[in-house]
């Protein structure tokens, strides 16, 4: 039914459940799996109206980039360990400085994925009480079927 599954994770508990479910589904279907984590760009406030804004130093940029890369590595290492435990191999992908929903959709298309599997929400403010903002965007804008795991 599905031969090429894209699993999206941000490392949250709900996303972890999605990865575990996706790995199990992929094993049952003998499907190829790509696990993606996307880190957003450093937030910059250029100011608007009467506000002066804030522009980070190069050191702050570098520190943010290093922390993002380290976090993504841990998230993907955890996904690899889950896959190895169940006996399948997965391709791991970190896309830095990008909008998660857009990147998930583009990656699914460019890699020929026939299913996107993601958790119902990540770590996003009040909207996490409902369907997560990135999940909502992927559902609304994507052309690939999406399986949402709670």
Which pTM does this prediction carry? 0.88
Number of Cβ within a 10 Å radius of residue 92: 18
33-87 pLDDT, tens per residue? 999 999 999 887 666 656 666 778 899 989 999 999 999 999 999 999 999 999 9
* Beta strands 146-149; 4-8: pairing state: unpaired
What's the gap between Cα 26 and its chain centre? 18
Q: What is the mean pLDDT of residues 107-125?
A: 86
125-145 pLDDT, tens per residue? 554 445 568 888 999 988 999
């Amino acid at each position: 039914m599905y031969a090429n599954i894209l699993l999206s994770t941000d490392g949250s508990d709900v996303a972890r459940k999605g990865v575990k479910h996706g790995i199990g589904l992929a094993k049952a279907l003998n499907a190829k799996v790509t696990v993606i984590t996307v880190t957003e760009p450093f937030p910059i406030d250029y100011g608007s109206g009467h506000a002066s804004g804030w522009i980070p130093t190069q050191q702050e940029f570098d520190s943010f980039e290093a922390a993002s890369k380290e976090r993504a590595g841990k998230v993907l290492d955890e996904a690899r360990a889950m896959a190895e435990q169940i006996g399948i191999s997965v391709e791991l992908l970190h896309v830095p400085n990008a909008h998660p929903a857009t990147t998930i959709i583009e990656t699914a298309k460019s890699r020929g994925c026939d299913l996107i599997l993601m958790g119902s929400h990540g770590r996003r403010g009040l909207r996490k009480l409902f369907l997560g903002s990135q999940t909502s965007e992927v559902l609304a804008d994507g052309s690939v079927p999406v399986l949402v795991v709670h």
